Amino acid sequence: MEQSKNRYSTMSIVVDTGASVTTISKDILFRAGYDVMSGMSKRITTASGIEYVKEITIDRIRLDNYEICDVLVYAHTFPQESFASGALGLNVLSLFDVNLLFSKQLIELKAIR
């Protein structure tokens, strides 16, 4: 039986140029209809040490006017104190030229493919 997935979930996400793969909160993925326990287990190294996550391919991720389909993400538990529910990694960032405008608290994306 295929699990029903919500079309959209809005979240706060940080840009992490040190992350190879985009990471999204297990809670967000679960609420969007993904089975966060059935993905392939993966051992990763974070700033906090070694963590174990699940690899999941999500249908799509939308950033401003851009939509990327079939995106590999890591399902991970973020600390309750965290202001973000995810970390945008190089598997998504590498699809864009990125300008960080700190004075405006803005990120500009321009697709390169």
Q: pLDDT at position 2, please?
A: 44
pTM (2 d.p.): 0.86
CA distance 1 to 45: 34
pLDDT in tens, 26-41: 999 998 999 999 888 9
Task: Give me the number of domains the chain comprises.
Answer: 1
Instruction: Check if the beta carbon of residue 39 is closer than 8 Å to that of residue 56.
Output: yes
Within-domain flag for 83: yes
Mean local confidence (pLDDT), 18-26:
95
Within-domain flag for 48: yes
Q: pLDDT at position 95, please?
A: 96
Within-domain flag for 102: yes
Within-domain flag for 2: no
Q: Find how far residue 103's CA is from the centre of its chain.
A: 25
**What is the residue range of 34's domain?**
20-111
Burial of 46 (0-12, 13-18, 19+ CB in 10 A): middle
